[in-house]
Amino acid sequence: MEIQTESRLVRLCIEAACESRESVEKWRKQRRTLDSMPSHLADALLRRLFLRHLLFPSLLEAFKRSVEVVDLKGASNVDAEWMAYLGAFRYLRSLNLADCHRINNSALWSLVGMTSLKEVDISRCAKVTDAGIRHLVSISTLQILRISETGVTADGIKLLSSLANLIVLDLGDLPVTDTALSSLQALTKLDLAWTGVSRLPNLSSLECLNLSNCTINSVLQGNGNEAHLTKLICSGATFTNEAEAFLYFNTRFLSFLDVSNSSFNGFYFLHNLKAMEYLDLSGSMIGDDSIEAVASIGANLRNLNLSKTRVTSSGVAILVGHVPKLENLSLSHTPVDDLSVSCIGMMPSLKLVDLNNTIISGFIHQDGAEPNLISSLTALHSLKDLESLNLECPKMNDAAVDHLSSFQELRLLSLRSPSLTDISLHHLSSLPKIKNLRIRDAVLTDSGLFSFRPPATLEILDLRGCWLLTEDAILSFHKRHPLIEVRHEHVVYTSDQAACHRQPRTSQRLSQVNQKQEKLPVSQYFIDQRLKYTREELLALQFQSSSLGSPFDKSHAKPQMQSD
Amino acid sequence: MRKEDSVKLISAEGFEFVIHKEAAMVSQIISNMLTSPGSFAETEHREVTFPEISTTILEKICQYFYWSLQYANGKETEFPIEPELTLELIMAANYLDT
């Protein structure tokens, strides 16, 4: 990540410097240059050496007067010898040793008395115990400390009270007792996920609290100053007594509440949270009867997640008119139908709407003398800021997608339905600002892809699960539009290649892709897809694709080349 | 090369490199110096002195400017960098924002 912010020549130089052991030997003696190097460049160089497995303890010494940030997360070879060198880093500000399993108490001894260290992460270093904490508390400058899943006990946590500057503490999955916590008064951010804390004492300066997956009796109980908690995460928590759980702290400032997948049931409590901006109720017990409470605090709400709940279209209707600032709304995996879409169309600030895995089909069935089909998706045209729309609904068909083709601001559109064909792909080529288009599990054909003229703004085309497409068709599309990243079972990007996406090295990438494919067996997924269709249906599809292909071929015989 | 299309870059040791203005513009800093509306001496005389950049490094930088132009025009070759130059070149490149 650090490297990407650098200019191109800097990046090329760092690559060249970290080419091999020999190239490292060519420059490691240039001590004066290394010492005078700006820290962000030294940090990036060290990071690259580490990622290329070229870093060893004595090489660290060359960086002791320049580097400020060291991230060795997940390195199994980092041990006390490495730490001896790191202890001499004069300007070290942040040290990440998470998942370095060889780190033990004596390795941490090297850090004693460091004067500029502000952030230490030793998460999941299981050999570190209370004795290691004794070494760390000698670093009075520490502000952020992450010791989740270590061998530290309640006694070790009590020691942390001497760290006067500590503001963020991650104690996830430690045997934290309620009394050990009361000694930590200055914290503003506390992460207690997966711990045994049940009654959180009053920490008056606390602003941010993570109690996910805990069993909660009460939060911030105690007399005196009330904490001004702004962010509370209780996802996956079990509440033993909800009425009491939130009784003791001032909820007026709470703007972020995540109670997803928890046993939280007291939605009447929501009425008091007037400052609420981010509310995650996904996977909770909420149903239409409690939506009223959400509507009553909707004035400042920007993000509302109701996915995997029992909320139906009538629940969504209650929200209309009460959520003027709502930007993100998720209703995925809920029983909402097309009637909810017209309600969503009346929430004026929406930018992101997620309706993944609902029974929405794009049409409202009107009963009457003559049954009538009315498009529900046209209601979304009134949302002028809509940028991202997820309609991965298995009931969507080509006729419904036709109504999506005129969205002006849409950047991301996600569709997933076995009823979609080349016609949908054709409709969507007129979206003016689309960057990321997903059409998954559809019956797209080679000729459909060939005649598809992607909008100039398109960056990612996700066609996973479109099992009729052949490798040749996808490669030829990729050749015609090298700047578009195509995702399909036939194309495999390593994470590295995906990261350097849109860099002009397409020819090289394409050849790599080619090599990869030869080794790849056909995935199980395809076989499943084919079983869904009978021989007759397959033949019909084949016929359909060729009959569809010809009119498109005529209208734009020459696929438009991407101008670079 | 006409005079008005060229730029003179001077190294710490006083070596002068005369290159196309177009190439020099690859560097954001040089580009700013040459196009800023004020009356910088650099703007008038079309020459920039780099007291902190050695001749070897400045030569490499000039090569990079031309390589960069070619690359942008679709000639995708590798830009070779000798390992012993990397450290100083990193710092110069960072300074020149190129």
Two tokens at A366? 């009107």
Report field, pTM of the whole predicted structure over 0.90: no
Q: What percent of chain B has pLDDT over 90?
A: 51
Which residues contact residue B29 at a Cβ distance below 8 angstroms, ignoring those fewer than 6 apart? Answer: B95, B96, B97, B98
Q: What is the pLDDT of residue B34?
A: 79
Two tokens at B89? 């070149």
Determine if residue A415 is left, alpha or beta; phi over 0 gives left, psi from -120 to 50 gives alpha, anything else beta.
beta
CB nearest to A30's CB, from B68, B87, B93: B87
Task: Tell if the CB–CB gap between B98 and A34 is shorter than 8 Å.
Answer: no
Determine if residue A53 is left, alpha or beta; phi over 0 gives left, psi from -120 to 50 gives alpha, anything else beta.
left
Residue A484, classified by CB atoms within 10 Å of its CB into exposed (0-12), middle (13-18) or buried (19+), is middle
Two tokens at A270? 């929501």
CB nearest to B98's CB, from A9, A19, A505: A9
Q: What is the pLDDT of residue A522?
A: 42
Q: Which of A3, A10, A11, A13 to mutate to test the interface with B (most CBs of B within 10 A)?
A: A13
Which residues contact residue A54 at a Cβ distance below 8 angstroms, ignoring those fewer than 6 apart? Answer: A18, A20, A21, A24
Q: Are strands A372-375 and A363-366 parallel, antiparallel or unpaired?
A: antiparallel
Please, how many CA atoms are within 13 Å of residue A76, restricted to the half-sphere of its CB? Answer: 0
Distance separating alpha carbons of residues A475 and A507, to the nearest angstrom: 12
CA–CA min distance B43, chain A (Å)? 24
CB nearest to A10's CB, from B68, B83, B93: B93
Give, for all 564 residues of chain A, the pLDDT tens digit.
333 456 889 999 999 999 999 999 999 999 999 999 999 999 999 999 999 999 999 999 999 999 999 999 999 999 999 999 999 999 999 999 999 999 999 999 999 989 999 999 999 999 999 999 999 999 999 999 999 999 999 889 889 988 888 888 898 888 887 777 777 767 788 888 887 777 777 777 788 888 888 888 877 766 555 677 889 998 988 888 776 777 677 778 889 999 999 888 778 778 888 899 999 999 988 999 889 999 999 999 999 999 999 999 999 999 999 999 999 999 999 999 999 999 999 999 999 999 999 999 998 877 665 667 888 999 999 999 999 999 999 999 999 998 898 888 999 999 999 999 999 999 999 899 999 999 999 999 999 999 999 998 999 999 999 999 999 999 999 889 988 999 998 886 544 444 334 333 333 434 444 444 444 444 444 444 445 555 666 566 555 544 444 444 434 434 444 444
Which A residues in the span 472-511 are in contact with B, Cβ-Cβ below 8 Å? 504-505, 507
Whether B65 contacts chain A with CB within 8 A: no
For residue A551, the tally of other CB atoms under 10 A from its CB is 10
Task: Tell if the CB–CB gap between A27 and B81 is shorter than 8 Å.
Answer: no
Largest pairwise CA distance in chain B:
39
- Say if CB A323 and CB A297 are below 8 A apart: no
Q: How many residue pairs bridge chain A and chain B with CB atoms within 8 Å of each other?
A: 68
Residue A328, classified by CB atoms within 10 Å of its CB into exposed (0-12), middle (13-18) or buried (19+), is middle
Q: What is the mean pLDDT of residues B46-74?
A: 91
Place of tokens 């115990």: A129
- Say if CB A43 and CB A68 are below 8 A apart: yes
Domains defined for chain B, CATH in brackets = 3-96 (3.30.710.10)
CB nearest to B86's CB, from A16, A36, A507: A16
Residue B95 has pLDDT above 60, yes or no: yes
Task: Tell if the CB–CB gap between B79 and A504 is shorter than 8 Å.
Answer: no
Residues of chain B in contact with residue A10, where contact means CB-CB under 8 angstroms, are: 90, 93-94
Whether B12 contacts chain A with CB within 8 A: no
- Say if CB A120 and CB A140 are below 8 A apart: no
Distance separating alpha carbons of residues A266 and A273, to the nearest angstrom: 13
Residues of chain B in contact with residue A38, where contact means CB-CB under 8 angstroms, are: 91, 94
Whether A67 contacts chain B with CB within 8 A: no
Beta partners for residue A190, in sequence order: A169, A209
Distance separating alpha carbons of residues B48 and B46, to the nearest angstrom: 7
CA–CA min distance B71, chain A (Å)? 9
Q: Which of B54, B90, B98 to mutate to test the interface with A (most CBs of A within 10 A)?
A: B90
Q: Is the pLDDT higher at B77 or at A50?
A: A50
Asked if ipTM goes beyond 0.85, one says yes
Task: Tell if the CB–CB gap between A37 and B90 is shorter than 8 Å.
Answer: yes
Distance separating alpha carbons of residues A470 and A45, to the nearest angstrom: 42
Beta strands in A61-214, from DSSP E residues, in sequence order:
69-71, 94-96, 119-121, 144-146, 168-170, 189-191, 199-201, 208-210
CA–CA min distance A507, chain B (Å)? 10
Of A73, A20, A67, A77, nearest to A40 by C-alpha is: A67
Beta partners for residue A145, in sequence order: A120, A169
Q: Are strands B16-20 and B6-10 parallel, antiparallel or unpaired?
A: antiparallel
Q: What is the pLDDT of residue A192?
A: 83
Please report, for chain A, the start and end positions of each structural domain, with discontinuous segments joined by +.
434-564
CA–CA min distance A447, chain B (Å)? 30
Distance separating alpha carbons of residues B43 and B32, to the nearest angstrom: 9
Q: What is the pLDDT of residue A494?
A: 43
CB nearest to B93's CB, from A13, A27, A30: A13
Residues of chain B in contact with residue A9, where contact means CB-CB under 8 angstroms, are: 61, 64, 89, 93, 96, 98
Of A397, A389, A406, A375, nearest to A443 by C-alpha is: A397
Place of tokens 């979304």: A380
Whether B87 contacts chain A with CB within 8 A: yes
Distance separating alpha carbons of residues A343 and A331, to the nearest angstrom: 12
Nearest CA in chain A to B94: A10
Residues of chain A in contact with residue B86, where contact means CB-CB under 8 angstroms, are: 13-14, 16-17, 23, 27
- Say if CB A445 and CB A422 are below 8 A apart: yes
User: What SS3 state is found at B8?
Assistant: strand
Q: What is the pLDDT of residue A7?
A: 83
Q: Which of B77, B86, B88, B91 to mutate to test the interface with A (most CBs of A within 10 A)?
A: B86
Handedness of CA A280, A282, A283, A288 (dihedral sign): positive
Distance separating alpha carbons of residues A404 and A428, to the nearest angstrom: 7
* Pairs from B54-59 (Cβ < 8 Å, separation ≥ 24): B54/B11, B54/B12, B54/B13, B54/B88, B55/B11, B55/B12, B55/B13, B55/B15, B56/B85, B57/B11, B57/B85, B57/B88, B57/B89, B57/B92, B58/B9, B58/B11, B58/B15, B58/B17, B58/B92, B59/B17
Residue B40 has pLDDT above 70, yes or no: no
Task: Tell if the CB–CB gap between B94 and A45 is shorter than 8 Å.
Answer: no
CA–CA min distance A24, chain B (Å)? 7
DSSP string, A411-458: -EEEEE-TT--HHHHHHHTT-SS--EEEEES----HHHHHH----TT-
Q: Which value, in Å, is the radius of gyration of the alpha carbons in chain B?
A: 13
Residue B37, classified by CB atoms within 10 Å of its CB into exposed (0-12), middle (13-18) or buried (19+), is exposed
